[in-house]
Structures are given as C-alpha cells and as structure tokens.
A and B are shown apart, each in its own frame.
Chain A
Amino acid sequence: MATMKYAGISVEVDDEGYMTDHSQWSEDIAQAIAAEEGIKLTDDHWQVINILHDQMNTKEQLPTIRSLKKLGVETKRLYELFPGGPVKKASRVAGYLKPASCV
C-alpha cells in the first residue's frame, strides 16, 4: 500500500500502482495514470474505460479481451490503445485493481 499524488489529489494504490479505492477516481486522475503508462487518452481510450466502468457497475466484473471484442472493441485496436497488457493497463487507468490473473 502506498499513497500517490495524481492531479493534485492523494490516492491510495497497491504495490503495483493500482487504485485500491475506486471512489477516489476521477477523469483527471485517469489522465495522470495514463500519462505514467505513456498513454495520452483519446475518445477511443475513453470508450474502453467507460465499458470497464459499465461492466463493473452492472456485473462487478472486469471484461476480458474476448468480451470487449463482443462489445465492439477489436482486439488489434485494444492492443494499439493500451500496448502490452490492455486489460491490465485499462483497469489501472479506470481506477480498478489488477484483474485476477490466471491460475
């Protein structure tokens, strides 16, 4: 656990920099976390972030790459938007914990 300052606000994060309290999240914080990941947020990024919020609000579950595809986000595009681990990075920007990894 640590406290980070994003957009002038103190935010609780875990060891890997994922926000532990989603209620602290704001669009400004998202911009700042994204910048740390080397990403400048565009409308397409926000589309993905909004889907994440939507899925967490309705299903309490982060979408997978596969379910994002069904919701209209092409996998190729997703990797362009969030290079490396798209769901992990998108979750961090959207203010959620790292998605449960595989077992």
Chain B
Amino acid sequence: MKRILILGAGTAGTMMVNHLSRKIDTAKWTITVVDEHATHYYQPGFLFIPFGIYSPDQVRKPKAQFIPSGVELVQEKVEVIETDKNSVTLSDGRTLEYAILIIATGARIVPEETEGLAGQHWHDTAFDFYTIEGATALRDRLNGWDGGNLVVHIAEMPIKCPVAPLEFIFLADDFFRRRKMRDRVKLTLVTPLSGAFTKPIASGVLGHILEEKEIDLVPDFEVESVDGSARRISSYGGKSVEYDLLASIPTNMGDSLIERSGLGDDLNFVPTHKNTLQAKVKENVFVIGDATDVPASKAGSVAHFESDVLTENILRFIEGKPLAEDFDGHANCFIESGNRKGFLIDFNYDVEPVEGTFPFAGIGPFGLLKETTMNHLGKLAFRPMYWYLLLKGRPMPFITTQLTLRGKKISKEAQQWRP
C-alpha cells in the first residue's frame, strides 16, 4: 500500500480527504491525515462573534466528524517534513512515510511580529478576531464599552480573508447604531494598502461605503510599533493613530512546521506552482489553501476551487500524466456590510471584481459588487453549506471551479488588470 499523507485537517485538508477517499483505488492507496487539534473552526464565523451574532458553539465541530471511514486521522503535532526521505516525523517520535504529500497547514496570526502588539495589553485593549480566543475576548470587551476610538488595523499583507477587516468595521458601525451609541464611537480603518481593498474597482466601491458610514480611512500605513500603554500605533513613515480599542489583524504566517522543515518563504508560505498546486521543492509534494504562496486570496472559497484542481492533479500524478494547469486563482467572497446587507465579489488571478449578477447572467440572485439583502442572506446560508457540502467535498450548486465572465460587466481595465 502506498500512502497519500495530508498535513492539516482544516478547510483545505478536510476537502482533499473527502475528494480523494472517493476517487483513489483503495486496494493500492491509503490516506492518512495528521492534525494536532481536535476541533474544526468555521473561521468565517469568527467575524460575527464579537457582535454577538454567532455564538462560539455555532462555529465549531469535531474534526473527526468530517473524516470519512477508511481514512486514518492522526491527532499529533508534526515535528518536521523531510522531502528528501519522503517522510515526516511526528512529535511522539513516529515516522510516517508517503508516496504523495499534501501540505494543508494553513496560516495563522503572529502578533509577536509587530513590536508592542502582543504585550500585556493583548486581549485587554488590543484584540484580534482571527482566533476563537480573540473574538470572544473582544465580544466581552465590546459589551461593556461606552465608546471612544475603535481602530481596525492591518499589519501587513497577505492576510486570511482580505475583506474581513472591512466587514468587521461595517458590522461595528451597525452594532453601535443599533445600540444608539454610534455618535460616541469614532471608527478608523488603518491599512498598509493605498485604499480600502486590494483590487482597484472594488476598492473604489468599498471606499465609498466607508465614507457613507463615516468611517475614517488611513491608507499607506506601514506599522512600526504599537504602544499599548499610550494606546497608539506608529508607522515607519512617522504617522501615528491613537485608539481606545484596537482590533488588529496581525501579520499572517504559514505554520512554524514549514520553517522547521526549511520549506517556506519569508512568511513560511510554501513556494507553489500557481496553476497546478505542485510544490516547487519536489514533484510528489503538493500544497493547498492558505499554506501556499500563490497570489490568490487566502480564503475558504479559494481552497474549495483549488481542491477540485488538486484532486484531478493527484489522480494524474498517480497515473503518470502531465498535471493540469487549471487553477485560475478563482475567489468568491461575500462581504457583510451591516444593516442586513452585503456584497459579493468574484475574481481570479487576471480578472478583478466587477459589477454583475451571479451565478446566473442577468438573473442573479446575487448582485456582484453591489450592496443587497440577498448577498447578506447568501453569506448566512453559507455556514450550513460549509459544514454539509464544502468540507465534504460535494459540489457547490451552480458554482464553477474556474471563473466565468458570464453576467459580469467587464471593462478593458478589469481584464487587463495585473496584480
């Protein structure tokens, strides 16, 4: 028996387990998945926790529930990957050999990367909302808060779900309006980007929404340090912004396992072929989800589209066929904008988010790059779909792996856009 070894049972790893367990020849192949944690978190749900919209119980389930029978789930930390030996060593000393390795170890926040951020004020006046601990601590803090400066701050790109900081600040605006205290809260988004978002057309539309909601934008802010006692963040360019509460999106990095194994770039992301998802280090190593260095968003939808391509490529690799260069960087993201409305954006490596309808041209029901109630309902409907369709590797209705231009208002600029 040959082994396909999958490291990480998060969104991407779990989808690969489910896809491959249905497709491979079980007389010849066995699948092992290793993850040190027992709980699977629906990470897009973290955003809603600080505002009391979701409870922690709504965003967590046991990982084992999503691993099909016949697949070996090993709950252990991985110490090191040795690609020259086709093996990994676990923390308990066991060695697992593989014929094919799939790295799906994700990304995590590293507040320690910013001077002063992870100090004594962490989860007291400075918070993250990318972990269950951060999101619940922020919820508790917001509950008794009587107003002041709330600053949302992005340390550096890339980050998981690049729309989340915007969604957070839109939801905060909504939260304080409902509590009739919006006039006592100043909302500011501080970002290293030159505008509200990474892509020009969407950045313009979303920037306009910030203005409408009276949210200040501080662009081009490259953070140098956080002074937790003075409650001030300072940039290399000599600017500073004061806060009463800081909702920070710290530096995102790949797993420290990648660094220990010498497989990553400066941020521990694994150099990966952007269309085949094969690792550049060795031909029997593949990478999926947030763990890659491909220039696509770090988002569950991206991992979902990648999983279709990677499943096909694993089968091709087994049969000795050339890999398909089919991954186009497709991302599909709902953006909550508060007041029970939302946006939807659909884009890839080459086509930036534009206006239109989705998934049916001219019909919708979702409006692209437009603020609608239907988009908000789509976002809420996504949580059960995540648990019951996406993780199990079942197709999402009407949504294609590659981006389609049908229903999109494509200008020349949007098509020629280059990252």
In the complex with contacts A66-B266, A66-B267, A83-B237 CB distance below 8 A: yes
What separation, in Å, do the CA atoms of A64 and B198 have in the docked complex?
Answer: 17
- Contact yes or no, B224 A76, CB < 8 A: yes
Cβ < 8 Å to A, chain B residues 213-229: 220, 222, 224
Interface 0/1 of A75-88, CB less than 8 Å to B: 11011000111000
- Contact yes or no, B236 A70, CB < 8 A: no
Q: Closest chain A residue to B271 by CB distance? A: A61
- Contact yes or no, A103 B158, CB < 8 A: yes
Residues of A within 8 A of B365 (CB): none
What separation, in Å, do the CA atoms of A100 and B293 have in the docked complex?
Answer: 12
What separation, in Å, do the CA atoms of A98 and B158 have in the docked complex?
Answer: 17
Residues of A within 8 A of B224 (CB): 75-76
Q: Closest CB of chain B to A6's CB: distance in Å?
A: 23
Query: Could you say which of B220, B297, B329, B419 contacts A101, with CB atoms under 8 Å apart?
Result: B419
Check: B81 CB closer than 8 A to any chain A CB.
Answer: no
- Contact yes or no, B236 A76, CB < 8 A: yes
What separation, in Å, do the CA atoms of A83 and B237 have in the docked complex?
Answer: 7
Q: Closest chain A residue to B298 by CB distance? A: A103
Q: Closest CB of chain A to B255's CB: distance in Å?
A: 17
Query: Could you say which of B157, B158, B220, B297 contacts A85, with CB atoms under 8 Å apart?
Result: B220
What separation, in Å, do the CA atoms of A27 and B266 have in the docked complex?
Answer: 29
What separation, in Å, do the CA atoms of A52 and B224 have in the docked complex?
Answer: 23
Q: Closest chain A residue to B266 by CB distance? A: A66
- Contact yes or no, B266 A103, CB < 8 A: no
In the complex with contacts A76-B224, A103-B158, A103-B297, A84-B266 CB distance below 8 A: no
- Contact yes or no, B237 A102, CB < 8 A: no
Q: Closest CB of chain A to B75's CB: distance in Å?
A: 32
What separation, in Å, do the CA atoms of A78 and B237 have in the docked complex?
Answer: 10
Q: Closest CB of chain B to A9's CB: distance in Å?
A: 25
Q: Closest chain A residue to B154 by CB distance? A: A102
Query: Could you say which of A64, A75, A101, A103 contacts B236, with CB atoms under 8 Å apart?
Result: A75
In the complex with contacts A76-B224, A103-B297, A64-B162 CB distance below 8 A: no
A: number of interface residues (CB 8 Å): 16
Q: Closest chain B residue to A83 by CB distance? A: B237
Q: Closest chain B residue to A69 by CB distance? A: B266
What separation, in Å, do the CA atoms of A101 and B409 have in the docked complex?
Answer: 24
Q: Closest chain A residue to B267 by CB distance? A: A66
Query: Could you say which of A65, A70, A102 contacts B158, with CB atoms under 8 Å apart?
Result: A102
- Contact yes or no, B236 A102, CB < 8 A: no
Cβ < 8 Å to A, chain B residues 155-198: 157-158, 162, 193, 198
Q: Closest chain A residue to B236 by CB distance? A: A79
Check: A50 CB closer than 8 A to any chain B CB.
Answer: no
- Contact yes or no, A102 B222, CB < 8 A: no
Which has the most chain B C-beta neighbours within 10 Å: A65, A79, A101, A103?
A103
Check: B296 CB closer than 8 A to any chain A CB.
Answer: yes
Which has the most chain A C-beta neighbours within 10 Å: B157, B158, B236, B297?
B236
Query: Could you say which of A64, A75, A84 contacts B220, with CB atoms under 8 Å apart?
Result: A84
What separation, in Å, do the CA atoms of A24 and B217 have in the docked complex?
Answer: 39
Check: A10 CB closer than 8 A to any chain B CB.
Answer: no
Query: Could you say which of A83, A84, A85, A100 contacts B419, with CB atoms under 8 Å apart?
Result: A100
A-B contact pairs, 20 of them (CB 8 A): A65-B222, A66-B266, A67-B266, A75-B224, A76-B236, A78-B236, A83-B237, A84-B220, A85-B220, A100-B295, A100-B419, A101-B198, A101-B419, A102-B158, A102-B162, A102-B198, A103-B158, A103-B295, A103-B296, A103-B419
A76-B224, A84-B237, A103-B157 are known; give 15 further A-B pairs, CB within 8 A.
Answer: A64-B266, A70-B266, A75-B224, A76-B236, A83-B237, A84-B220, A85-B220, A101-B193, A101-B198, A101-B419, A102-B193, A103-B158, A103-B198, A103-B295, A103-B329
The 6 closest A-B pairs by CB, nearest first: A102-B157, A79-B236, A66-B266, A102-B158, A100-B419, A67-B266
